[in-house]
Structure 1
Amino acid sequence: MLFGDVLASLDETTGFRGPVACRAVGITYRQLDYWSRSGLVEPSIRDAKGSGSQRLYSFRDILVLKIVKRLLDSGVSLQQIRSAINELANRGVEDLTGITLMSDGASVYLCTSNDEVIDLVQGGQGVFGIAIGRVWSEVEGTLSTLPIEHAKSGVAAGHDELAARRRAKRDAS
């Protein structure tokens, strides 16, 4: 990763709360909540379980959220986005950086090579594209400045001063 110091420590128990995910992606909490409840993009680290619990999103979850937002902003239907997200879910994190999503506004195509992108454009099927590697870098840069949370402790780490004070007070007692 580009920001190794901050994001390299992320593992399957470290992620970002809903409000942080919203800031990183540029969506409202209401959108995030709907996407989670409808199964479009569910948090892979910790889901909300009743009142007072908080979802915890992984880096990959936030990357997918950003892709969903870009596709919606481009006018792609939610049904087509679901299909594309399901296809992305079948791929590992490392595979994502080499994928370009192409769309003609009605369908979404996953291209894994420049030749596939060129074929779609020449065939008139590709009107716009989203290079996931570039989105990856954007999300990585944004998240490097936002607070990280560890699922086991429930306490934010990184750049959250209030959480650090709470942790210090708890440890002192």
Structure 2
Amino acid sequence: MSGKQKASEHRRSAVRLAGEQGLLCEEDVVGLPMDVGYRGPAACMAAGITYRQLDYWARTRLVEPSASMPGGPPGHRLYSFRDILILKVVKRLLDTGISLQQIRTAVEHLRQRATADLAQITLMSDGVSVYECTSPGEVVDLIQGGQGVFGIALGRVWRELEGSLKELHGEPLGEQERPAEPHPGDELARRRRQRRTG
């Protein structure tokens, strides 16, 4: 088999692996459930974390509740859909052994994105660093290059979370969360480009 044939076969294998793992996610989000906020216990249930984790992550400002309840006590905050999505991603990254420092970098990056954009992102990791992919080609490139040991398609996490939150009681929100402006020079995208070119 020639070098070109081997490379082509290696790429097909990477595409097949990414497809089997559900990493080539291109979710089409129709409605954003941003009109409801959730108290801590509901956020814990939906994200699959303990209240102790939730409290610690809020105190250390890893993931804080960002929504307010109209007429609620001053300073009383609720977890928005976006907050809980990020909580669920943090839990998955921790479960795979990613360092808290890398998770903080990933969370900061996700905060820079508009909520609707999150469903189009797949986070990939080699067990040490976390990389953002926004297209199936980028996922395949990381897997093919050996950097993509595992990944989390946020579109799939989004759909799981929608199902979980339907079963939980939420509170109407006061202030709507403001979508973050895209940040083209973010750290995760820079790392992915470095891996590809370096």
TM range (shorter): 0.7 to 0.9
> Is it true that 1:32 corresponds to 2:54 in the alignment?
yes
Partners of 1:17 and 1:57 within 8 A in 2: yes
Query: Is 2:57–2:64's contact at 8 Å kept on the other side of the alignment?
Result: yes
| AA partner of residue 116 (structure 1) | E
- Aligned-partner residue type, residue 104 of structure 1: D
Q: Which 4+ runs in 1 deviate beyond 2 A?
A: 1-4
**RCO higher in structure (CA 8 A, sep ≥6):** 2
Listed as ranges, the gaps of 5+ residues in structure 1 are 48-52, 153-173
> TM-score, with normalisation over the residues of structure 2?
0.67
The 8 Å contact of residues 80 and 107 in structure 1, kept in 2 or not, is answered as yes
Matched, 1:117 2:139: yes
Counterparts of residues 5-154 of structure 1 (less than 5 Å): 8=33, 10-11=34-35, 14-46=36-68, 55-151=77-173
Cα separation, 2, equivalents of 1:112 and 1:76 = 20
Letter in 1 for 2:157: V
**Post-superposition offset of 1:26:** 1.1
Give me the whole-angstrom Cα distance separating, in 2, the residues matched to 1:110 and 1:102. Answer: 6
* Aligned length in residues: 144
Percent identity between the two aligned chains: 65
Matches of 1:29 and 1:144 in 2, distance apart? 20
CA displacement, residues 16-55 of structure 1 (integer Å, 9 cap, x when unaligned): 00000001111110100000010100111149xxxxx754
Q: Partner letter of residue 67 of structure 1? A: V
Q: How far 1:122 sits from its partner (Å)?
A: 1.1
Gaps of at least 5 residues in structure 2 are 1-27, 70-74, 175-198
Deviation at 1:2, TM superposition (A): 8.2
CA RMSD of aligned residues (A): 2.4
Q: SS at the partner of 1:101?
A: strand
2:138 is paired with a residue of what secondary structure? helix
Q: Evaluate the alpha carbon distance shift between residue 3 and residue 90 of structure 1 in structure 2; reply closer, same or farther with a 3 A threshold.
A: closer
Cα separation, 2, equivalents of 1:56 and 1:16: 5
Instruction: Spell out, residue by residue over 1:67-103, the C-alpha distance to the aligned partner (whole angstroms, 9 max, x if none).
Output: 0000000110110000011111100011111110000
Distance 1:118 1:38, change over 3 A: same
Distance 1:46 1:71 in 2: 27
Q: Per the alignment, do residues 115 and 2 of structure 1 end up closer, same or farther by CA in structure 2, a change over 3 Å counting?
A: closer
